[in-house]
């Protein structure tokens, strides 16, 4: 596979690699037949440097030493990994169980697969087991697992996910894992494999633009809304920076990497305030704004008093009617109806809706991060995991923490 030549410095808008280069990279590296949708993200694609002094290097702001992160959404995971292992065996620590013909193993989402894999690997014939492709690695190890299988090479880290799992996350925040990643600026490779799986790819785009992004915007506005004052006015306001920081932070609520100092404490700040990021957020959420307005939500976006075109002022009505519109744009399992059912089934006190929503999001983030972490230990292999940990070490946290949290950038 072709090794990526990273940009030595970011462009004025913080872009480190262009779309066409990434498309060529994926075409040369991965089998294409099962790929429905693919996007790049992270500090290897967009600079996350908060400041870049001229003629000097900033150790806190590396711009040319990060892996390129990719999410590859596939139609059939079993078939994709079969083809990918044939083409790129070095990407895998041990042969994945999808190499088996259909019907020779239990369903790949079976939790027992992990136990089976450990049992097989401890047998004396482990080298023979490995060479004859009898290692068992599950795509999913528990109900809260988002189903992303990460491989790490010298230049890229790519996560492979079944299209159904990706759609469930986008449309209902079932895992708040990839949906959370897609709530921040990404680089979709829309020309990649564009002649195949057209309908499924369009369904993903629709779910992103009509469900995931409007839901993220609605949740952030609910969290930023305050109760009407004594004068009864319900007009709220915030800056671009406040709004997009709240959106970027959604998928880190409950993420115990933050609590264990295993993630850069300035992660949200870098995601929003690095070069070009505010403009990318503005562009990303423009369709979501139109979506809310078309539903009757009252909101205005204008310049702030300082005249900074990059930091606009958002003003909206937080009356009960407006809040109801925001609530109606949340995923079904996090809607006001779900909240009301929770209230009726709970004999104890139930927090206000916004607090309940925050807790629900945090629980999903926590569960999915733990599930992916456990699987990451199994699928990475010790040498790859250590190399990846070394890359992440400068961003904060212990090496052990980095081994555990592989794959969620």
Per-residue pLDDT averaged across 172-182, rounded? 96
List phi, psi (to 5°) of 235: -80, 130
Share of the chain above pLDDT 70, in %: 67
Q: Find out whether 44 and 16 touch, Cβ atoms under 8 Å.
A: yes
List phi, psi (to 5°) of 31: -70, 140
209: pLDDT strictly greater than 90? yes
Least confident of 86-100, 113-127, 193-207: 113-127
Bigger pLDDT: 366 vs 374: 366
Confidence of residue 7 (pLDDT cuts 50, 70, 90): very low
Per-residue pLDDT averaged across 331-343, rounded? 90
pLDDT at position 228 is 58
Which DSSP symbol is given to 315? E
- Please classify residue 329 by burial: count the beta carbons closer than 10 Å to its beta carbon, then call 0-12 exposed, 13-18 middle and 19+ buried: buried
Confidence of residue 406 (pLDDT cuts 50, 70, 90): very low
**pLDDT tens by residue, 36-89:** 999 999 999 999 888 654 444 444 544 456 789 999 999 998 889 889 988 998
d(CA 298, CA 316) in angstroms, rounded, equals 6
364: pLDDT strictly greater than 70? yes
Looking at every residue in the chain, the average pLDDT score rounds to: 78
pLDDT at position 227 is 60
310: pLDDT strictly greater than 60? no
Bigger pLDDT: 15 vs 1: 15
pLDDT at position 89 is 86
d(CA 134, CA 130) in angstroms, rounded, equals 6
Bigger pLDDT: 272 vs 120: 272
* Sole residue written with tokens 């319900």: 234
Which DSSP symbol is given to 15? B
184: pLDDT strictly greater than 50? yes
Confidence of residue 223 (pLDDT cuts 50, 70, 90): very high
Per-residue pLDDT averaged across 189-214, rounded? 94
Q: Find out whether 135 and 95 touch, Cβ atoms under 8 Å.
A: yes
pLDDT at position 26 is 95
Strand order in the sheet with 235-239: 235-239, 312-317, 299-303
Count other Cβ atoms within 10 Å, centred on residue 75: 17
The pTM score is: 0.81
**pLDDT tens by residue, 387-405:** 665 555 555 444 444 444 4
């Amino acid at each position: 596979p072709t090794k990526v030549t990273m940009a030595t410095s970011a462009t004025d808008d913080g872009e480190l690699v262009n779309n066409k280069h990434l498309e060529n990279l994926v075409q040369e590296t991965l089998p294409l037949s099962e790929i429905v949708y693919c996007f790049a993200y992270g500090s290897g694609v967009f600079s996350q440097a908060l400041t870049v002094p001229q003629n000097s290097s900033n150790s806190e702001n590396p711009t040319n030493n990060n892996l390129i992160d990719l999410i590859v959404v596939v139609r059939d995971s079993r078939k994709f990994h079969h083809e990918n292992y044939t083409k790129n065996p070095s990407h895998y620590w041990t042969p994945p169980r999808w190499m088996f013909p259909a019907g020779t193993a239990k369903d790949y989402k079976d939790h027992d697969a992990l136990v089976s894999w450990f049992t097989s690997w401890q047998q004396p014939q482990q080298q023979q087991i490995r060479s004859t492709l009898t290692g068992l690695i599950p795509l999913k190890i528990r109900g809260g697992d988002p189903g992303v299988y990460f491989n790490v090479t010298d230049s890229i880290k790519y996560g492979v996910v079944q299209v159904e799992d990706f759609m469930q996350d986008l449309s209902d925040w079932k895992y708040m894992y990839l949906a959370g990643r897609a709530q921040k600026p990404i680089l979709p490779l829309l020309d990649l494999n564009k002649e195949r799986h057209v309908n499924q790819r369009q369904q993903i785009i629709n779910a992103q633009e009509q469900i995931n992004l409007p839901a993220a915007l609605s949740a952030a506005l609910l969290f930023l809304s305050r109760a009407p004052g004594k004068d009864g006015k319900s007009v709220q306001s915030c800056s671009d920076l406040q709004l997009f920081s709240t959106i970027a932070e959604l998928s880190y609520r409950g993420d115990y990497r933050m609590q264990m100092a295993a993630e850069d404490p300035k992660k949200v700040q870098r995601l929003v305030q690095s070069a070009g990021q505010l403009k990318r957020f503005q562009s990303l959420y423009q369709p979501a704004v139109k979506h809310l307005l078309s539903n009757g939500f009252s909101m205005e976006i204008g310049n702030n008093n300082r005249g900074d075109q990059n930091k606009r002022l958002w003003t909206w009505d937080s009356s009960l009617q407006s809040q109801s519109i925001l609530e109606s744009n949340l995923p079904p399992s996090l809607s006001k109806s779900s909240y009301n059912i929770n209230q009726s089934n709970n004999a104890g006190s139930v927090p206000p809706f916004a607090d309940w929503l925050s807790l629900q999001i945090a629980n999903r983030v926590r569960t999915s991060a733990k599930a992916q972490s456990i699987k990451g230990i199994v699928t990475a292999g010790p040498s790859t995991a250590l190399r990846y940990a070394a890359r992440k070490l400068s961003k904060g946290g212990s090496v052990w923490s980095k081994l555990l949290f592989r794959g969620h950038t």
